Amino acid sequence: MHKWRTWLVAGIGTLCVAGVAGCGSSSSSSSSSSSSGSGTSSTSSTPSANATVVALVPSAVKNKGTLTVASDASYAPNEFVASDGHTVIGMDADLMKAIGGEMGLKVNVVNVPFASILAGLQAGKYDVGASSFTDTKEREKTVDFVTYFTAGESFYTKASGGTTINTIADLCGHTVAVEQGTTEKDDATAQSVKCKKAGKPGVTVLVFPDQNGANLALTSGRAQLGFADSPVVEYQVKKSGGTFKLVGTTIANAPYGLAVAKGSGLQKPVLAALEDLMKNGQYKAILSHWGIEPGAISNPKINGAIS
């Protein structure tokens, strides 16, 4: 679940081949908040802490003074790399900075591969995973989530010479590009099995370490379709300058969750901080800033998976 700075600035022709998030390395971090949806950012002071929320923060985290947040910055507008080539910006970075402010903590957003985030949480390497994670019952076996957004899954193809499908059942015989560790990878793979059982050609699922690689597969013609979260697909299509287009219907609406290690004690303070941000308007302001307010929720939960 996860695009590229290059499109924001120069269009598809100069792809590093990534997308709106910039082909950033996986070693950068920042506690900055975005100043505009165009990929710029500005460092600002930590917002005032909420005493009620601060009281819920585990002492071990409070003593560190900083939340280390893992994010795969290749999924604009949710998380991507700013024009400086290393600062992680986007909806998730802004939201985590606001949550950290409520908790009285600084926030350090680290750009790492999506598939390694949950293991990193379990190992104590990161405090929070904020990377467009769909909260699923399977993932809840290893980490806990605080839901904060709802999104579906969408398909996109080349605007010129692309392919046409209506639903996921139409993937039979097609080649689709996805990111490693995502629900789209799982769903496309499961659909391939269904296709073969029905006597139809399977789905060729091309899996990439990040969304930038998946997008390149589509632009280069290796894949016929891209498959990612609906807000990300819509953003990429909008910023592609007519290179990409949406195709088919959005499927599988489900909650996003901020991931924390089981036993970390961070579930309750993150939930409390998020609830306060919803009450004071900051939550909606962040989503509106990135143009994804239709995915807003009003009832965040700990482990709210629906499947």
The per-residue pLDDT for range 177-194, each reduced to its tens digit, is 999 888 899 999 999 999
For residue 104, the tally of other CB atoms under 10 A from its CB is 20
Assign 268 a pLDDT band (cuts: 50, 70, 90). very high
Distances 279 to 39, 40, 195, 227, 273 between C-alpha atoms, Å: 27, 27, 46, 34, 10
For residues 229 and 152, what is the distance between their CA atoms, to the nearest angstrom?
6
Task: List the end-to-end C-alpha distance of the chain, in Å, as a whole number.
Answer: 16
The per-residue pLDDT for range 210-263, each reduced to its tens digit, is 888 988 999 999 999 999 999 989 888 888 889 999 999 999 899 999 999 999
CATH homologous superfamily for the domain 153-253: Periplasmic binding protein-like II (3.40.190.10)
Mean pLDDT score of the chain, rounded to an integer? 86
Cβ 246 vs Cβ 233: under 8 Å: yes
Given this model, what pLDDT does residue 240 score?
85
The per-residue pLDDT for range 104-113, each reduced to its tens digit, is 999 999 999 9
The tokens describing 52, both together, are 């009620």
Q: Are strands 128-129 and 66-71 parallel, antiparallel or unpaired?
A: parallel
In words, the CATH class of domain 5-34+55-151+254-295 is alpha beta
HSE (side-chain half, CA atoms, 13 Å) at 290: 33
Of all residues in the chain, what percent carry a pLDDT higher than 70? 85
Distances 65 to 29, 54, 55, 142, 166 between C-alpha atoms, Å: 16, 11, 14, 25, 49
Entry pTM: 0.77
The CATH 3.40.190.10 portion of the chain extends over 5-34+55-151+254-295, 153-253
Given this model, what pLDDT does residue 47 score?
59
